[in-house]
Amino acid sequence: MGGRDEEAEGVGEATIPLLRDQHDEAEEDGDIVVETKKLWRIVGPAIFTRITTYLILIITQAFAGHLGELELAAISIVSNVVIVGYNFGLLLGMASALETLCGQAFGAKKYDMLGVYLQRSWIVLFLCSILLLPMYFFATPILKYFGQPDDIAELSGTVALWVIPIHFAFAFFFPLNRFLQCQLKNMVIAILAGGALVVHIFVCWLFVYGLKLGVIGTMATVNVSWCLNVFVLFTYATCGGCPLITWTGFSIEAFTGLWKFAKLSASSGIMLCLENWYYKILIMMTGNLKDAKIAIDSLSICMSINGLEMMIPLAFFAGTGVRVANELGAGNGRGARFAMIVSVTDSLIIGIVFSMLIVFLHDQIGWIFSSSDTIIKAVNDLSILLAFTILLNSIQPVLSGVAVGSGWQSFVAYINLGCYYFIGLPLGFVMGWIFKYGVKGIWAGMIFGGTGVQTLILIFIVMRCDWEKEAQKATVHVKKWSVSNSRN
């Protein structure tokens, strides 16, 4: 576990036994309700926020679909796969560095440091956004290179230029989101997300049907809702919305320590992107099978169901990261471990419920998306894999949240790279093509060989972790940054 940044040093051997005595268990039993309330204070609004954000994309595609098949294809490609999908994931992942730093600083009551971290994140993500701009300017030739039809590639390239304002909005929104989230301001974020969704629906109707601005107007509506959200969040954060004085104004200190901050941000971005790209590759691999249209349609339906349900464990990812970071920053290693256990348990229970629903409704779920008997049968054949995917995904994101809260991003990025791309992908290829199991073989190989192995490794790490030692390191780290900032 060596070679990680100073913010994310190695995990030692456990000093806390896995089986504690009955007194300790009784004591923790009394804290379960308290910890659950703390967790759901973050997770509840986070679920609502993520679902409403997801619906903005769905509604945009729905309006585009009523314009025509070409417009729908262009919006879908720009939003989901080539442009926004990858850049969104990278910037979101990089902003997760704030969950480590702001979460630990908030737990240590070093409130003035949160504003400095926020500004550093803005600087790093803004510079990264500039480096990613060529993907928008050269979207058409990129899409043609990957085999997209000329008409779709040309229109997608035009639409991509109108995505640039959203692209820069991401660079400011995600740090603001994490900044407020670490202060348990999730209800504010949720209310604003709901307001942005209402505004988006109205503006979509106005631009598409009222002003008849076509596909450009459809994408412009996303600019309006996202930029409005950023403006309101910025105003709230900087104009007295945080009573603990976590924002003390713009500071020159934000330009110090940028390299270390950028390395942790890059580690966070790579860690999450390796997961995001993994499932994009699953769809691309499926496109090379025989009867690819049926395979892609059935897999896309399963991925849509999984994606919507995934908003719940992703909310636990955020909640776990904040709770673990808060407890470590406060020097409470035992509290961080207990927060992790409660988070994993709650998420796993929800995952079991949804998995069982998929099993019981395996022959019904396809009707939601299609009336084709062939596609419904194909979805039915994949339903067991969908249930296992939902079950695994109820654990894996929560453990990734533990990694973010503890500052282990660099280490987990290596785990993701090895499990997903050196085990999962080759196994999926072998089962799909060599053993001729088709899309079921590809998916099974990738979910069990990649996500399954990664989950087992993360479970082993958190079980063997010396949480008191991690708490000591987090306390030292926060004090070091505090002294450094005061000198500057």
CA distances from 480 to 113, 324, 461, 473, 476 (A): 11, 20, 26, 10, 6
Averaged pLDDT, 1-9 = 41
User: What confidence tens digit (pLDDT) does each residue in 183-231 have?
Assistant: 888 899 999 999 999 999 999 889 888 888 888 888 888 888 889 999 9
For the chain, first and last CA: distance in Å?
32
Percent of the chain with pLDDT over 70: 84
pTM, to two decimals:
0.79
Residue 43 has pLDDT above 80, yes or no: yes
Sketch the domain layout of the chain as residue ranges: 6-487
**What pLDDT, on the 0 to 100 scale, is given for residue 300?**
73
H helix count then E strand count, the chain: 21, 0
Confidence class of residue 395 from pLDDT cuts 50, 70 and 90? very high
**What pLDDT, on the 0 to 100 scale, is given for residue 62?**
74
Averaged pLDDT, 143-153 = 76
Averaged pLDDT, 148-172 = 85
Average pLDDT along the chain: 81
* DSSP notation for 446-463: HIIIIIIHHHHHHHHHHH
Residues 6+ apart with CB under 8 A from 394: 312, 313, 347, 348, 350, 351, 352, 354, 355
Q: How many CB atoms lie within 10 A of CB 315?
A: 25
**What pLDDT, on the 0 to 100 scale, is given for residue 405?**
83
Contact 163, 220 (CB under 8 A): no
User: What confidence tens digit (pLDDT) does each residue in 251-303 have?
Assistant: 888 888 888 888 888 887 887 777 777 777 776 677 666 666 677 678 877 88
